[in-house]
Amino acid sequence: MNAPEESSMVERSNTVRFLRWLCTWRAVRRILIGLAWLVALIALFHGVENWRGRRAWNQCRREIEARGEPLDYRALIPKPVPDEQNFAATPVIKSWFETKAASNGEPSWGDAYAQIGDRVHQPKAKDARASRILVDLSGWESAFAAVRSGEVAGHNEFYSAKLDAQSRAQAAPAVLEGLRTNEALFGELHLASGRPQSRYPVDYAMENIWAIQLPHIRMLKGACQRLQLKACAELASGQSEKAMEDLKLMLYLGDSLRSDPFLISYLVRLACVQLAMQPIWEGLAERRWSESQLQELETRLQQYSFIVDMKKSFEGERAAGISTVEMIRQKGPWYLNAIGNPDSTPSPGDSMMGKLLGTVLIPQGWYYQEELNYCRGFQAELATGLDTTKNRISPTQAKADFQAFEGMMEVTGFAGTGLGAVLGHKMMARMLLPALNKVLLRTAAAQTTVNQAAIACALERCRLAKEQFPEKLDALAPQFISPLPNDVLTGEPYKYHRTDDGRFVLYSVGWDDKDDGGIAGKTLFDEKQGDWVWEYPAKQKP
């Protein structure tokens, strides 16, 4: 009696009945027809998306290339340079690329400066406006003494407040002695700086562009930091000729990065030039430079056009981003894990699987749309704030451009979500596009500094000739400077007035686009408030 009941229960099972139906020819045929329709729909979807994406990208690409702007990263790689003409072919620079530090894979200094470089500074005062101050050589003297005695760990900071000429002159020899461990390095760099070109031994052939190692940019900035201190100590001790040589080496080191196609190299170049402004300012503040030295510095400073140079670095950054999207399109989305990590390379299995799944799930046209939006993002961030023909950067327009870019990156219904970036084909733009408005700010600051320094040299030459600064800047041209630089932010002459102590205040309206009468913000180049000011401190008594 139990057997028939069990059999009837099995017969009545929905699962069994479905499996029997599934094995019939009619069911198989319907399934195959359904799969065929699904494949056809997927193929149609891919075909439409591929055509649409490729067509839009090709049109954008033609427009960009018609303006003479390269999109191929390989076209921006510096050409080889013969060793006898190449500054970067010197042995010490080659060693930066050969020596690997155990901690971070980069060469290190390992000198006394490295132990105390971030500990010698003036205590920050609340609500104080920014101004340039003389390097605290007495503080550095104490810091180097602490290194020699092994007592660095017991000090949080070194600051003496002795900024008068006599105290700084007395401390200068000890500071120069503390930097003597780098004398051979500086000598080799000085000798190599006579070569007309620079092409660093970077491995440009790496498939993953973001994993390319650039040890030289860190070492060059470190060299400039040490040379800045050395030049200031030399000025304080009356050795203006040596200070001039070290200052010119700083400018040369920064300019040696000019052929690098990387945005980070451009930014480090700006930093190196900014470091060189300190000894120029100190020499002017303490009237250490001669007429011939002032004229040489002025001529050198007037050669800088950072806004024009910035365009090349942007082209390199954009080409690197496009190359990255192309690599992901070829290898599959799993290749994203390798970006920026030289030790993370997809295995052959991962690459094949990623490519297969990427081809099935993601239409090729979506990658083209990513490239399109990446380039559009670049254009949006620089739409109106940057004017290379007039050598101007408008802070107001730069801020408006960035807001427009942020709006462009949002996708209706998915604002602020990763899904929105994927569906809107803006994922790579969000990942790889730098904040170009910040680059514009740093470029404007650097160009303002060199412009003000050149004008300050002309003002000092005028004072040497006429025993006083002129009443107006116009009086400098053409005898002492030609042409007279205009404010990169407004296109108008820099603001200038003489002070009661026989000095002057020279300033730009700053990033807030507002004339504050020569009152600086909380930093020298504050992006929120205040003017960008060049002035000298009152003379201190010992």
pLDDT in tens, 83-103: 999 999 999 999 999 865 434
pLDDT in tens, 48-61: 888 888 899 999 99
Mean pLDDT of 353-359: 54
pLDDT in tens, 189-244: 999 999 999 999 999 988 888 889 999 999 999 999 999 999 999 999 999 999 99
Question: Other CB atoms closer than 10 Å to residue 152's CB: what's the count?
Answer: 17
- Is the same domain home to 117 and 236? yes
Distance from C-alpha of 15 to C-alpha of 231, rounded to nearest angstrom: 88
- Is the same domain home to 270 and 129? yes
Per-residue pLDDT at 303 exceeds 60: yes
Per-residue pLDDT at 107 exceeds 70: yes
SS3 of residue 393 by DSSP = strand
Per-residue pLDDT at 414 exceeds 50: no
290 and 240 in contact (C-beta within 8 Å)? yes
Mean pLDDT of 270-292: 97
Residue 456 inside a domain? The answer is: no
Token pair recorded at residue 407: 């709006």
Which has more confidence, 533 or 537?
A: 533
Question: Other CB atoms closer than 10 Å to residue 144's CB: what's the count?
Answer: 24
- Is the same domain home to 89 and 217? yes
Which has more confidence, 535 or 17?
A: 535
Token pair recorded at residue 405: 């870019």
- Is the same domain home to 143 and 259? yes
Q: Which of 151-165, 354-368, 517-531 has the lowest mean pLDDT?
A: 354-368
- Is the same domain home to 194 and 343? no
pLDDT in tens, 472-511: 999 999 999 999 999 999 999 999 999 988 899 999 999 9
Residue 44 is predicted with a pLDDT of: 79
Residue 52, judged by CB atoms within 10 A of its CB (0-12, 13-18, 19+), counts as middle
- Is the same domain home to 131 and 232? yes
- Is the same domain home to 213 and 102? yes
Q: What pTM value is reported for the model?
A: 0.88
Residue 172 is predicted with a pLDDT of: 97
Most confident of 154-168, 169-183, 381-395: 169-183
Question: Other CB atoms closer than 10 Å to residue 320's CB: what's the count?
Answer: 18
Listed in sequence order, the residues at least 6 apart from 149 whose beta carbon sits closer than 8 Å to its beta carbon are none
Nearest to 268 by CA among 281, 255, 279: 255
83 and 89 in contact (C-beta within 8 Å)? yes
Mean pLDDT of 91-120: 81
pLDDT confidence of 406, banded at 50, 70, 90? confident
Distance from C-alpha of 282 to C-alpha of 284, rounded to nearest angstrom: 5
Distance from C-alpha of 237 to C-alpha of 291, rounded to nearest angstrom: 19
pLDDT confidence of 127, banded at 50, 70, 90? low
Nearest to 307 by CA among 433, 486, 434, 447: 447
Most confident of 137-141, 153-157, 346-350, 382-386: 137-141
Residue 152 is predicted with a pLDDT of: 83
Residue 433 is predicted with a pLDDT of: 81
Distance from C-alpha of 105 to C-alpha of 215, rounded to nearest angstrom: 9
SS3 of residue 507 by DSSP = strand
Residue count of the chain: 542
Residue 388 is predicted with a pLDDT of: 86
DSSP states of 12-48 as a string? T-HHHHHHHHHTSHHHHHHHHHHHHHHHHHHHHHHHH
Q: Which of 260-264, 324-328, 428-432, 504-508 has the lowest mean pLDDT?
A: 428-432
Among the candidates 242, 268, 289, a domain finishes at 289
Distance from C-alpha of 227 to C-alpha of 173, rounded to nearest angstrom: 15
DSSP states of 216-240 as a string? HHHHHHHHHHHHHHHHHHHHHTT-H
Residue 534 inside a domain? The answer is: no
Per-residue pLDDT at 419 exceeds 50: yes
Per-residue pLDDT at 437 exceeds 50: yes
Per-residue pLDDT at 182 exceeds 90: yes
Residue 101 is predicted with a pLDDT of: 44
Residue 445 inside a domain? The answer is: no
Residue 367 is predicted with a pLDDT of: 87
pLDDT confidence of 293, banded at 50, 70, 90? very high
Residue 253 inside a domain? The answer is: yes
- Is the same domain home to 342 and 225? no
Residues 324-329: contacts with CB under 8 Å, at least 24 apart = 324/209, 324/210, 324/428, 324/432, 325/367, 325/370, 325/371, 325/374, 325/428, 326/367, 326/371, 327/207, 327/208, 328/367, 328/428, 329/358, 329/364, 329/367
Distance from C-alpha of 350 to C-alpha of 330, rounded to nearest angstrom: 13
Residue 415 is predicted with a pLDDT of: 46
Per-residue pLDDT at 253 exceeds 90: yes
Name the average pLDDT for the chain. 86
SS3 of residue 495 by DSSP = strand
- Is the same domain home to 254 and 361? no
Residue 114 inside a domain? The answer is: yes
Which has more confidence, 416 or 171?
A: 171
Residue 67 inside a domain? The answer is: no
- The letter for the amino acid at 351 is S
Q: Prior bond to 342 cis, omega within 30? A: no
Residue 329 is predicted with a pLDDT of: 82
SS3 of residue 535 by DSSP = strand
Distance from C-alpha of 454 to C-alpha of 289, rounded to nearest angstrom: 13
Range of the domain at 10: 1-34
Number of domains in the chain: 3
- Is the same domain home to 281 and 377? no
- Is the same domain home to 28 and 82? no
Among the candidates 419, 438, 457, a domain finishes at 438
Residue 451 inside a domain? The answer is: no
Kindly list the distances between the CA atom of residue 503 and the CA atoms of 117, 118, 292, 452, 538, in Å, as whole numbers in the listed order. 32, 32, 21, 15, 9
Among the candidates 422, 438, 454, a domain finishes at 438
- Is the same domain home to 255 and 360? no
Residue 130 is predicted with a pLDDT of: 81
Cross-strand bridge partners of residue 159: none
Distance from C-alpha of 345 to C-alpha of 351, rounded to nearest angstrom: 9
Residue 479 inside a domain? The answer is: no
202 and 86 in contact (C-beta within 8 Å)? no
Distance from C-alpha of 185 to C-alpha of 92, rounded to nearest angstrom: 7
pLDDT in tens, 364-394: 888 898 899 999 988 999 889 999 888 899 9
Q: Which residue is listed with tokens 């045929």?
A: 29
Question: Other CB atoms closer than 10 Å to residue 419's CB: what's the count?
Answer: 11
